[in-house]
Every structure is written in structure tokens, then in C-alpha cells.
A and B are shown apart, each in its own frame.
Chain A
């Protein structure tokens, strides 16, 4: 049985090598082209996607129905949703197997291509049993020792509604009561309630995201999702957990149906504490700096890179998103150009900057600006002892500009970049890439971008010189509508965000996150519309989320005729 519906990165790759995905057609990567020509035999383009233009005109293209994505909750979604269902918070995520990546290389998690197996089922059983026991021990079951059936039903119904993210049918209620009854026959009411809760948390209605739509309203291949399904999708996308009672009540009252109501609900969720926290978490993940706390650097070279510093680095980035997105309402352009910075004493000593007053600093004329001046990012994309410009350049190219590169050829693995020698600068050492015929093409598109950050060492501290030589952070970039010379990182931040490439790339990634599966041909038109909407909204993150949620792609699916 094949459940690898989305497992075809191999089919996608060849077509995408030569373009900047979904954004800028026509990027040429010199020697990388050779990799395509000498590339794998037997790769095929999925016929289903072949006739979809990856870069359609958003004004005129026809939206096609998107496929459903029945999939298991992620570990974080599971833990938080159980908390909502039972009203008792228990640490559970670590009991479950690790999540899959949304697609290869994605910073986001999604189990779109993961089938249930014996190991997982057992882990879910253990987690459910742990949570159910904790809930009963916390005294949530209040029907007494001689619980009446009415009381038990009253206990289960609201929990079933939160678990199923819709009101349960009478048949579902009686099925669950049957579990209670079976255990109750030879056990206590508390035991029986615990087993019923365990069964509830193991039920497929809870474990899977599953949106089948309102089939009675199917039209031209589209099925609108039910209001409950829209609310559920929205809650997971915006808060990382299933809907709570307040949201479910709102659905029941008809308040999550009309587009303007859906938009309002989205804004309300985004304004909530959990909505903001989840957005910040996902943004931190998108920047790929979540792991900075566990990042190891050479203890000899950087003894000052302590756990406190690493925590402070993550904190800076989190606070940045929190303040910029939710207080300043900054555009994505400002994320890369602003002089505002939010750090405390710990990081100030690494930056060699004065401790900010009221938590906000201003870089002024320093070469540092925006997100790419954060220690979290600079340290994550560097080596243990020294800078690796390729890493920083690759992030900018792939994650900000949506450019793609083929996997490195074998020769790249043994390509000698001389180790730090106390004499040459990092740039001098890495420029051997640009001289070598084999590595030139690909590294030409990564290293020069990375050189822009040479004023910052491998933990993100400022360096005016390296080995007594002055830093050369200048370069040239040419990638779609991003074209020009830059003198340093700050200049690069201005340059890359001058056009639409960065917002379009970002919007595409977030659209994929909303659907929680790799995009396919039928999604390209919807993606183009979302990208245009984000550009039109001047790169406002909150408007992007609302726009995605109110889009047809988010609220409909293709007809499934069982």
C-alpha cells in the first residue's frame, strides 16, 4: 500500500533546479546547470502537475480545488490539544515519535505523509493513558462513586466535542459510553471514566486532522469545508491546537461561516496570547534558529558562548517578532532593515553594545540591522570555530529568495577550504570556491551573499578586522528582481527586500504551512493569489494570515466520492 502521496520530491526537483520556485523564473546557476544535464535518469514529472503553470498570473488564473490532507497531529499539537480537551495540562510530546518535516528541508513539521504504525499506536496509547489518568487524578471526574449514566454522559459530551472539534453524534456518544460500561462492569466509576478518556484520546477523530467538507454543497469539483472544519483548521494554524469551547460555541451560533466573520475570528485568535505565542514560535522556526539554545561552539574559541547567551539569543529573536509583528505591525521588509533591536544585558556584552533602555536599542549606523543581525541567526549559520559564508548565503538564497540548488556534487565534500590559519580572512579562504571550476557555479550563488555578514563572527559578535586585515563585506547579487551591489549586511537587507521576491517567497511558504502539506499543481494559482495579496498588503504578516484563511484554498477541498 502506498501512502506516499506527497513523497515525490524526486519528481519535483529537476524542474525546480532552474528556477526560483514560484517567484522568479529564469535564474541560471552556471555549473549547477551541469548537474541537471548530467542528472539522474528516470526522473519523471508527475503528470498531475505537468500542466500547471508554477507561476500563473494571479489576476486571471483559475483556482482549482486543493486535495485533502488527512494527517496525524504533530507532537506539539497533540500535547496542547489534549490540554484543551481534558482541561488538564500534562507533558506528553516527548512520549510520541518525532514528527516528519512538512517536506524535505522544511523547517516546519507536518505528518502529511506519515501512516500509523505499531510503534506510533503504542506511543499514542501510552500518552492517552498518561493524560487520562492525570485528568482523573486532578479530580475532573465529579460523578461520584455511584455515577449515574446521565452524569457520565454529561462528563463525556463536552470533552468529545473538544476532541472531535465538532459536536459528537449520538452514535459516537453511545460507542464511547460502551467503553465506560465495559470497564464499569468489574471496576470503579473512576477507572471506567479513565478508560473512556483514554479511548477518546486514541480515537481517529482526535488523532487526525480530517476535513471531508459538506458534500451536499459540492460544486464543480469543490466541497466547502464545514464551519467546524474551518474553525479547526484555523485554530491549529493560528494557535497550534484544536478549538476551545469559546470558538466551538461561536461556530454553533453561526459565527464562523461568512467570509467577514471568518476574518474576524482569525483576527481575534491572533490577538490572543496563545495566537501571538504560536505565531512567534513558527516565525522563529522559519528563521531556523529554534535550535540555537543547544548550539555548540568551540569552547576554546568562544568560551563566552554560554547557555545564558544562547538563551538570550533566542529570546531576542522571539521578542523581536512579538514586538515588530504585534506592536509595530512592521512589514516583512522592516524585519530585515529596521534599526530596532530588543536584547538585554547578556547579549549586550556579546554585541559590545550598551544595554538598551526599556528593552529597545537602536543600531544607528552600525552595520547590523534587522533579523539577520541577530546572534541567533548569525551563530546558527556559522561553523563551530569560524564563519562559513556558504551557510548564511544558502539561507538567504533558499529561505528568503526561494531559490533552489541541486544537492552538492561528491567533489564538494572533499573540496579543501583551508582551515583558519590566523593569517587569512574567511573570505580569502572561501574564495577558492569561486576559482574552482567544479564548485564555482553553485558557490557563486551562495558565498558572495554570505560575505555580506563577515563583520560578524561565528557567535554573532562584531569584528572590524579579521587576523588584522580589514573586512570586505561587499558583493553583488543578481537573482530575479533582486539585483545590485551591496557593501555590507545592512545594505544587503535593503537590497533583497526592495522588490517583491522576499514577500512572495514568504507568502508561498506560509501558504504551504497553512495547508500543512507540500504544494501541488492545483495549488499554484491559489499560491499566486496569496502572494499577490501579501504584496498588496505591504507585507503585513497578520494580513497574510487572515488572507490565507479567507482564501478558497483554505476553506474548500476537492470532492471525494467514497
Chain B
């Protein structure tokens, strides 16, 4: 069931799709398109949340797997935190990451590098390809922010890859994320004159940077010139964030700047996670970006869990993934699921039209492995929350038999209005997932 959802960003027509492809680097006037949208129609927003290193305790699948079918779903013990939004959940069973070569690629990297790209970069020698979130973001080319990459901790390997090639930078500082999303937003109307002045000053800095970068570009060629082209593109984006002042009205209520949090302190993880969730929710509610890539737990992430009871404070998620302490591994996985639940519930608490922001969004929870200790990439832990503007029938368990993850990625593109026949390696992609959208 697909309902027409006019939006600020949606690539709704073939014409605008081609325009987007042809005009790479040039932002399209989506602001005006929003103005033309019918009342009650809202853009679809995609938030992909990753918790790497598995989510399913070894030999305890029943604790993770939801019971049910296409008529209804019962949340598993590990997913109880999602109870308030149970009606908006779709749980998946039987989706495999087929991109890595099972005979050779069983380390961490092949699992996370292929998860959202549907391509095996190393073994297949394919050109560097983006993850699905970034692919969609590049097609939507939205203003003021094309995409938002966020993490809870620094130094992480996330499954997100930019269209320029290379790992997507994800921002671990809550203050930086807020600044990036809302720029110089001041909630106090009395301070608006001062904020306007500050924006004007920032604009003069950007004008200067544009002049300098353009001049230097003339000195270079080839790859080096492309670097400066990319730089110019980001200056334009910064300009659009500055020009597009958020308005505190309706669903949009920018949280206050979380300020500086001591990122080096292990016990700050919950506070950082809460701050990032609050800013992400505000960012999508204020329609600052259509795509958020949220690396909740990255790979090789050594932060400890002194705030979770019964956990050895010298051990990290990966340590527990490879230990026999199944119950503690489950407890850590549940802690992350709790942050995810916090995000979707926050989105569900913000009214938008005749529903909530969550109803107009699709929030994905995914891991690169099933059981962290086994590095297994079949039956990937995957669920979605939200109806994507009525495109998705929720409260279901969708069961497949060895279905390719690539097909799910195609469905994500379609949900966001990006019409592709396949995604990633076409040899392991047959089109969108059946019965999902």
C-alpha cells in the first residue's frame, strides 16, 4: 500500500529524479516544493541505527526473536522496551548478508563493510560504493542538511560509507551535532536580532572561504581539483544551513544545546546517548534532514559499561560477545535496544499532522552479525519502527527464507522515493523485498 506522500525532499517524479542525478552538487529548491505540498503531507524520514557485533545471545534466539506473523507481532523478551510502540514495529526473519564470501570473509570488517552497501569491496574489487543511507541522501540532496552522521562514542568503525568514498564521519560530540543541525538557533525571540547579526557575520566568513577555495581550485587539476570541488560543495551546504533558520513551531522544538559533555569519561555514555537521541529527534521533527545515520555502537569500540549492573568494568561489548557470559552480553544488547526505544518513543511523542513524527518516518535497527561471538551473517538482526507515511503496514513479523539483504536495501530506497531496480551487487539482488512496502 503506497500512499502519495508529498514532501520537502521526496524525489517524487522521474523528472526531478533525473534532475537530481544530473545536477550532482547543486541543491534543488525543495524549500519551494514544500510550500506547494498539501497540508497534512509530511516528508518521509529515514533513520538507520546500527549496533555492531551482534544482538542475539548465543543459543538463545528465543530471547531476541519476536513471535508472530503478518497478522500481528508479540515482542520478544529483549525487545520489551519497544512495548509502547509495538503496533509500529516490523520484525524480520531470514534476511542474510550475502555480500561477503563465506569461505574467506569472516572477520569483523567484511561483515560491517558490506552490511549496508551490498557489495564486497575487498574481494570483488568493486569501486568504492556508498551505504544505502548515503546513497539515498545523495539522491535527495536535501536542504539544509543532506544527511546527518551521529555516533555515541568516537573512534568507531560504523557501517556507513559516504558517496565520496571512505567511511562516513560520524559526530560523537553532542554539542557539535546540535551546532551542525541548528546552527545559531536561539530559542529566545528577544535574542533574534543578535542571532541574525551572528548569521550575517558567519555568512561573510563563508563568502571569504568560497572566494579562496575557487581561486585555489584554478591552481590544481585532476584528483586534487576534485578535492576542492567537494570543499566548495560543503561550503554551499553550510550556507544553506545558515540561511534556513529553524522555526520553533508545531513539531519543531529544538532541544537546547547539550553543551560540553566530558567525552573521555566512561560513565558519560548514557548522557551522550540521550543527548544524541534528543538532537536526532529534533532534527527530523524540524525537517532539517531526511536521512540520519546513527552509529550507536561501532565495531572495535572499547568503551566499558560501569553503568550497567553486573558488568565487569574492564570489559567491552566485544569482550562479552566472545565470552561465555551470555546473560551479560544480552544485558548490554538490551541497554542499546533501550536507547533505540528511547529514540522511537521520542519521535512518537511529537505530533505531526494526524499522527506523529514516527508515523512519517522509518527507523531501522540493524546489526552486522547475528551472534557477536560467531560472526554469523545469516538471519541478520533487523527490525523497523514507523509507517513511513502510511507506506508500511506495521505490527507484523515478516518471514523469509535466505532472502538477500540487498533486497531490503532496495526497499529502503523505494520508501524514500529513490527508484532503483537493484542496490549493491546485482548478482545478489533481485529487487525490493516482497510484502514489506
Contact = CB atoms under 8 A, between A and B. Distances in A.
A474 interface: no
A60 interface: no
A31 interface: no
Interface stretch (B52-60, B61-69, B118-126, B346-354): B118-126
Contacts of A202: 205, 209
Given A97-B169, A97-B171, A118-B237, A176 B208 contact: yes
Interface stretch (B1-9, B70-78, B220-228, B403-411): B220-228
Given A3-B165, A97-B171, A122 B124 contact: no
Contacts of A67: 223
B198 to A, nearest CB: 9
A114 interface: yes
Choose among B154, B171, B224 the residue with the greatest number of A CB atoms under 10 Å from its CB.
B224
Interface stretch (B29-37, B211-219, B243-251, B335-343): B211-219
B176 A210 contact: no
A41 B124 contact: yes
B255 to A, nearest CB: 17
Contacts of A464: none
A562 interface: yes
A409 B238 contact: no
Nearest to B237: A118
A121 B201 contact: no
A7 B166 contact: yes
B13 interface: no
B106 interface: yes
Contacts of B163: 1
A115 interface: yes
Contact of A178 (B121, B125, B208, B222): B208
A3 B232 CA distance: 14
Nearest to A5: B223
A2 B127 contact: yes
A413 B375 contact: yes
B234 A117 contact: yes
Contacts of B223: 3, 5, 67, 70
Contacts of B312: 299
Interface string A73-85: 0000000000000
Contact of A121 (B122, B149, B234): B234
Contacts of A327: none
Nearest to A206: B212
A121 B227 contact: no
A199 B104 contact: no
A338 interface: no
Contacts, number: 208
Given A1-B164, A94-B263, A205-B212, A117 B204 contact: no
Contact of B180 (A119, A183, A205, A561): A119
A137 B379 CA distance: 57
Interface string B112-135: 000000000111111110000000
Interface in A533-561: 560-561
B220 A205 contact: no
Nearest to B181: A122
A407 interface: yes
Interface in B160-205: 162-171, 173, 175-176, 179-180, 197, 200-201, 204-205
A119 B148 CA distance: 8
Interface in B232-260: 234-235, 237-238
A118 B164 contact: no
Contacts of A299: 312, 314
B426 interface: no
Contacts of A63: none
Interface of A: 1-5, 7, 9-11, 13, 35, 38-44, 67-71, 94-95, 97-98, 100, 113-123, 125-126, 172, 175-176, 178-179, 182-183, 186-187, 191, 195, 198-199, 202-205, 208, 210, 212, 294, 296, 299, 407-410, 412-414, 560-562
25 contacts: A2-B165, A2-B226, A3-B164, A10-B125, A40-B122, A40-B124, A70-B220, A94-B154, A100-B167, A114-B166, A116-B234, A119-B170, A119-B180, A122-B176, A175-B208, A182-B200, A195-B201, A199-B205, A202-B205, A296-B302, A413-B106, A413-B375, A560-B219, A560-B222, A562-B225
